[in-house]
Amino acid sequence: MALNIKPLSDRVVIEPAAAETKTASGIYIPETAKEKPQKGTVVAVGKGNKDHDMTVKVGDEVLYGKYAGTELKLEGKDYLIMREDDILAIV
Amino acid sequence: MALNIKPLSDRVVIEPAAAETKTASGIYIPETAKEKPQKGTVVAVGKGNKDHDMTVKVGDEVLYGKYAGTELKLEGKDYLIMREDDILAIV
Amino acid sequence: MALNIKPLSDRVVIEPAAAETKTASGIYIPETAKEKPQKGTVVAVGKGNKDHDMTVKVGDEVLYGKYAGTELKLEGKDYLIMREDDILAIV
Amino acid sequence: MALNIKPLSDRVVIEPAAAETKTASGIYIPETAKEKPQKGTVVAVGKGNKDHDMTVKVGDEVLYGKYAGTELKLEGKDYLIMREDDILAIV
Amino acid sequence: MALNIKPLSDRVVIEPAAAETKTASGIYIPETAKEKPQKGTVVAVGKGNKDHDMTVKVGDEVLYGKYAGTELKLEGKDYLIMREDDILAIV
Amino acid sequence: MALNIKPLSDRVVIEPAAAETKTASGIYIPETAKEKPQKGTVVAVGKGNKDHDMTVKVGDEVLYGKYAGTELKLEGKDYLIMREDDILAIV
Amino acid sequence: MALNIKPLSDRVVIEPAAAETKTASGIYIPETAKEKPQKGTVVAVGKGNKDHDMTVKVGDEVLYGKYAGTELKLEGKDYLIMREDDILAIV
């Protein structure tokens, strides 16, 4: 189900993964990040801007810096909105 | 009714939503933002500049950072004027 | 009567409005700005530069940030000279 | 009489006006600037650079920021050398 | 065996070398870096961006600044993810 | 006699003038600069770079900021090496 | 003998000269730099990047700022790796 949100410019909305989750490829998030996961799923992607073409797509599992983004509550759930450049990698 | 204000450059005038409002798409603003809402409606849009083409339109409901913009009183009501890049997303 | 001053580059000379003025469009300046008005009339406009084409014209009523510009006394009256980018909007 | 000095790049040499001078157009410099005038006459102009074409000419009377430029003694007189962008306006 | 991770933009994933390792070419890492090695092997490389074409390849042994990058645990092992510009040299 | 030094990029090597020197054009350096003169002769010039074409030539007498450049001893004499943009004017 | 190291981007590896060395052209390094020489020989050069074409070559004797670069031990000897722009001049 798509969220009714259109991030502006080079921004991306991410649904943070629950702590201690293990992905199919066996990637663990570091233990010190349990309270605030650094892994999540992209749920909305902006159109980019003159300086930045977007790389991630909705559904991508991504790693991001511990303090990246702004918290957002959408339909009762917590999300993060951040610039794509704050995303470290697709996993 | 259109406001008699023309924001310069990449600026946008926003009418902040009343706190605790629930939108059609069911988006709540975070409870910690009750005193100063982070959601609002675009009421005026600048023409952009050489580095920035405008994306939002009058009437768009937008989310913006808690400390974004400058307060402005127009015709007895409170508004915010900010650069479009301070807007996080259209909802 | 035009002032005998040519602002350089992207600068604009503004005659600050008297405090508590109400414009034709009913715009009030915020009460906290009574001592130092944030509204004024453009009295001279520079030619812009390579990075900035000018938007405002002499006679435009404009809003500007509370601490924008440098004070200037011309023919016994107080003016402000600021870069056009410090002007928030034309009202 | 031209000074034997060629300012580099976008620099300008200015002869500061004596304090409390009143120009033909009736412009006074602010009283608080008596010790260090903010008005002067351009006596030498650089050739500009890739980012900046020069606007002022030798002989122009200009206003500049109170702390702009570097003091310089040429042939026994005090001058200021500053970047043209520190000049606010031609009066 | 390739890691299931795609670094974004100009980022690179590095497997830090164990401390006190001596390479084929006889390069030692400085003794003061024993706790946190400054040498490692590239295990994943981003696609670069508009401002940066990538130089290193998977398998390259590289030297990097002591405080470069963000720690990451992938499949139970510790890695670093950093921008390629934080890599000093290929050895 | 040319010095055996090639300044890199937009750098210039300057031989500082002895304090209290009076040039042919009658320019004095300010008295407060006696310990560290702000006037000197260009003895070597770099080739410039993508952003900066060189203006000064070997032999030019120049004025420079009091704290500009790095001190250098060449063949027993003191010189300064600085970026050309730290030179204020040719005198 | 060439070192087995390829500096990335606009970086250069330098072998610092022993303190108090006098070059063929008679250049002394300043006495205050005895502990940490500011003169050295280029032993490896990067390929440059989009903003910077390389000027120095392996074998060039160069002067560099006292605090430039990162120390590196290669094959038991101390080197410095720095950006070419930290090199002041070829001597």
pLDDT digits (tens, 9 = 90+) for A1-30: 568 899 999 999 999 997 654 555 666 555
DSSP category for residue F28? B
User: Which pairing describes strands G77-83 and B39-45: parallel, antiparallel, or unpaired?
Assistant: unpaired
Q: Do the Cβ atoms of D89 and C47 come within 8 Å? A: no
Q: What percent of chain F has pLDDT over 70?
A: 77
Average pLDDT, rounded, for chain B: 84
The verdict on residue E1 lying in a domain is no
Q: How many CA atoms lie within 13 A of A53 on its CB side?
A: 5
pLDDT at residue D2 greater than cutoff 60: yes
The verdict on residue E5 lying in a domain is no
Compute the average pLDDT of residues D57-72.
Answer: 93
Compute the average pLDDT of residues A54-75.
Answer: 93
Long-range CB contacts for residues E73-76, cutoff 8 Å, separation at least 24:
E73/A27, E73/A28, E73/A29, E73/A30, E74/A27, E74/A28, E74/A91, E74/E3, E74/E5, E74/E13, E75/A25, E75/A26, E75/A27, E75/A28, E75/E3, E76/A26, E76/A28
Compute the average pLDDT of residues F37-63.
Answer: 94
Quick one: which of C29, C7, C3, C32 has its CA closest to C18? Answer: C29
* Residues on chain F touching G32 (C-beta within 8 angstroms): none
Map chain A to HEC letters: CCCCCEECCCEEEEEECCCCCECCCCCECCHHHCCCCCEEEEEEECCCECCECCCCCCCCEEEECCCCCEEEEECCEEEEEEEHHHEEEEC
Compute the average pLDDT of residues A41-66.
Answer: 95
C-beta neighbour count of G35 within 10 angstroms: 7
At A26 the pLDDT is 60
- Minimum CA–CA partner of C25 in chain B: B4
Per the CB < 8 A criterion, the answer to whether E39 and E63 are in contact is yes
C-beta neighbour count of F90 within 10 angstroms: 18
At A84 the pLDDT is 97
At F3 the pLDDT is 80
CATH at B46: 2.30.33.40
Average pLDDT, rounded, for chain D: 84
pLDDT at residue F24 greater than cutoff 70: no
* Residues on chain D touching F52 (C-beta within 8 angstroms): 49-50
pLDDT band at C21 (very low <50, low <70, confident <90, very high): very low
The question of ipTM being above 0.85 is answered as no
* Residues on chain A touching E76 (C-beta within 8 angstroms): 26, 28
Which residue in A72, A80, A81, A86 has the most chain B C-beta atoms within 10 A of its own C-beta, making it the best mutation to test that interface?
Answer: A72
pLDDT at residue D8 greater than cutoff 60: yes
In terms of pLDDT, which residue wins out, G24 or G44?
G44
Cβ-Cβ contacts under 8 Å for A24 (sequence gap 6 or more): none
pLDDT band at G61 (very low <50, low <70, confident <90, very high): very high
Compute the average pLDDT of residues G26-52.
Answer: 74
Average pLDDT, rounded, for chain G: 84
At C75 the pLDDT is 85
**Dist. CA C65–CA B10, nearest whole Å:** 15
At B85 the pLDDT is 96
Q: Chains touching chain F at 3 or more Cβ pairs under 8 angstroms? A: D, G
Owning domain of residue B50 = 11-90
At A67 the pLDDT is 87
Q: Do the Cβ atoms of C88 and B81 come within 8 Å? A: yes
**Dist. CA F55–CA F40, nearest whole Å:** 16
Quick one: which of D39, D35, D15 has its CA closest to D27? Answer: D39
Nearest chain G Cα distance for residue E28, angstroms: 6
Per the CB < 8 A criterion, the answer to whether E26 and G73 are in contact is no
Concatenated DSSP letters for D24-90?
TT-PBPPGGGSSS-SEEEEEEE---BTTB-----TT-EEEE-TT-SEEEEETTEEEEEEEGGGEEEE
At E73 the pLDDT is 87
Number of domains in chain F: 1
Q: Do the Cβ atoms of E56 and G8 come within 8 Å? A: yes
At B23 the pLDDT is 53
**Dist. CA B42–CA B52, nearest whole Å:** 17
- Give residue-wise pLDDT tens across range C40-79: 999 999 999 989 999 999 999 999 988 899 999 888 899 9
* Residues on chain A touching B55 (C-beta within 8 angstroms): 8-9, 47
**Dist. CA G73–CA E27, nearest whole Å:** 7
Query: Coil, strand or helix: which one is E57?
Result: coil
Compute the average pLDDT of residues G36-51.
Answer: 88
**Dist. CA C27–CA C22, nearest whole Å:** 6
In terms of pLDDT, which residue wins out, C13 or C4?
C13
**Dist. CA A72–CA B87, nearest whole Å:** 13
The verdict on residue F24 lying in a domain is yes
The verdict on residue B17 lying in a domain is yes
Amino acid code (one letter) for A1: M
Quick one: which of B31, E7, B44 has its CA closest to A91? Answer: E7
**Dist. CA E77–CA B89, nearest whole Å:** 37
At E47 the pLDDT is 96
**Dist. CA A9–CA F39, nearest whole Å:** 51
At F67 the pLDDT is 87
pLDDT at residue D19 greater than cutoff 80: no
Task: Using CB atoms, pick whichever of G9, G73, G76 lies closest to residue E85.
Answer: G9
The verdict on residue G27 lying in a domain is yes
Quick one: which of G58, G54, G55 has its CA closest to G79? Answer: G58
The verdict on residue B5 lying in a domain is no
Q: Which of B50-54, D16-20, E23-27, G32-36 has the highest mean pLDDT?
A: B50-54
pLDDT band at C34 (very low <50, low <70, confident <90, very high): very low
At A2 the pLDDT is 66
